[in-house]
Amino acid sequence: MSKKGIFVKNKGQKSRFNLYDWIYRRDHKPDADDDRDAPRNFSFFFKLLSRNFSRIFSLNLYFVFGNVALWLLLFLLSGVLGPHTTAPTSDLYAPLAGALPFTEGSLLLNVLLSVHGAMTEVSVMTPFIIALIVVGILLLALTFGPVMTGISINMRNIVRGEPLFLWADFKHAIKSNLRQAIFLGIFDLGIIFLLCYGLLFYYMNLGKSLLFNTCFLFTIVLLVMYGFMRKYLYLMLVTFELSIPKLFKNALIFSLLGLGRNLLSTLGCLLVVFLNWMLFTVFLPLGVILPLMITIGLCLFIDAYAAWPKIQSVMIDPYVGMDDEEDA
């Protein structure tokens, strides 16, 4: 029936699938939020995921289009753009080729050159490509933190079971925390880069000395610990008025307090990435498209689902009902 031009579904009318309603989640039942206070355990995770899958898909797109500079950097570093040249695949080629004129056609040297003389095509970094990389890094430093902030407030609301206005909440969170979000994003990217660079450096020198081996293991521990901390940083940013040092301090504490949930969520994210990689090896187009559609958003949802209950139980629930703000 119709009332003032608005379609109203009859009580006994059978509902039909509507893509618009599915995307904007307009098909909620009246009691859809009755389990708002349900414990965020393993079984409830899949129920919440199925209910909010389209929203997670939308937030994944927010990340993709909000961080265009990230995909620009990956494209530039892939070596597709720019001139190419050939280079030996083995480090032994140069000394062997240099010794060749002084050996009078040594059979052994010619055999070694045939083994270590294979060539491969490599890209050349031109000044223009380097300038584009610098611009991409600067853009990513400005966009990463704000985009993560806008996504985090929506992920928090999904986990809490609150009403969602994806784009409005996304913009409001960025506008309210813009300066702090930019600085947090810069620190976040800088720490990730240093840890990954250190891990690669010590891995390449693994076995050369006890110091390198120890530093390699220590870097792995730091990388895992910071991965736990990142689950809490942006959620606390959009929830509390805390300085950046206090955000990192609290995130370090939560990485230990919520160790079990952190481990499970990390394993869940690794499983999602592994399945995406398997699809990438089996069917390349689907493996490339999935991170742009759902993989990133799903990992962020897993992290938020694991982190928010611990934040609420430690930083919110003990102070609920206090009338005096100073006491709280």
Residue pLDDT, tens place only, 247-259: 999 999 999 999 9
Q: Is 7 helix (H, G, I), strand (E, B) or coil?
A: strand
**Strands 84-88 and 119-123, sheet pairing:** antiparallel
Q: How many domains does the chain have?
A: 2
Q: Looking at the structure, tell me whether residues 115 and 224 fall in a common domain.
A: no
**Strands 2-3 and 84-88, sheet pairing:** unpaired
Say which residue the tokens 């708002």 belong to.
36
Decide if 23 contacts 56 (C-beta within 8 A): no
Decide if 151 contacts 59 (C-beta within 8 A): yes
Q: Is the pLDDT of residue 282 over 70?
A: yes
Q: Does a structural domain hold residue 19? A: no
Dist CA 80 CA 122 (whole Å): 10
Please provide the average confidence, as pLDDT, over all residues in the chain.
85
* pLDDT the model gives residue 25: 52
Q: Looking at the structure, tell me whether residues 100 and 58 fall in a common domain.
A: no
Q: Does a structural domain hold residue 21? A: no
Q: How large is the angle between the packed helices 259-282 and 296-311, nearest 10 degrees?
A: 170
Instruction: Determine the average pLDDT of the residues in 202-216.
Output: 91
Q: Which of 258, 238, 114, 117 is nearest to 176 (CA)?
A: 238
Dist CA 144 CA 288 (whole Å): 21
Instruction: Determine the average pLDDT of the residues in 79-95.
Output: 76
Q: Looking at the structure, tell me whether residues 233 and 118 fall in a common domain.
A: no
Residues 6+ apart with CB under 8 A from 294: 56, 57, 60
Instruction: Determine the average pLDDT of the residues in 231-249.
Output: 96
Q: Looking at the structure, tell me whether residues 135 and 227 fall in a common domain.
A: yes
Could you tell me the pTM of the whole model?
A: 0.82
**Per-residue confidence band for 30, with pLDDT thresholds at 50, 70 and 90:** very low
Dist CA 90 CA 85 (whole Å): 16
| Weakest mean pLDDT among 18-27, 202-211, 239-248, 256-265 | 18-27
Q: Looking at the structure, tell me whether residues 60 and 119 fall in a common domain.
A: no
Q: Is the pLDDT of residue 15 over 60?
A: no
Higher pLDDT, 16 or 160: 160
* Owning domain of residue 103: 84-123
Q: Does a structural domain hold residue 247? A: yes
Q: Looking at the structure, tell me whether residues 301 and 196 fall in a common domain.
A: yes
Decide if 134 contacts 77 (C-beta within 8 A): no
Report the first-to-last Cα separation within the chain, whole angstroms: 52
* CB atoms inside a 10 Å sphere around CB 194: 13
Q: Is the pLDDT of residue 321 over 80?
A: no
Q: Looking at the structure, tell me whether residues 141 and 223 fall in a common domain.
A: yes
* pLDDT the model gives residue 127: 87
- Please state, in angstroms and as integers, the Cα–Cα distance from residue 314 to each residue in 229, 257, 319, following that order: 15, 10, 9
Q: Looking at the structure, tell me whether residues 274 and 159 fall in a common domain.
A: yes
Q: Is the pLDDT of residue 53 over 90?
A: yes
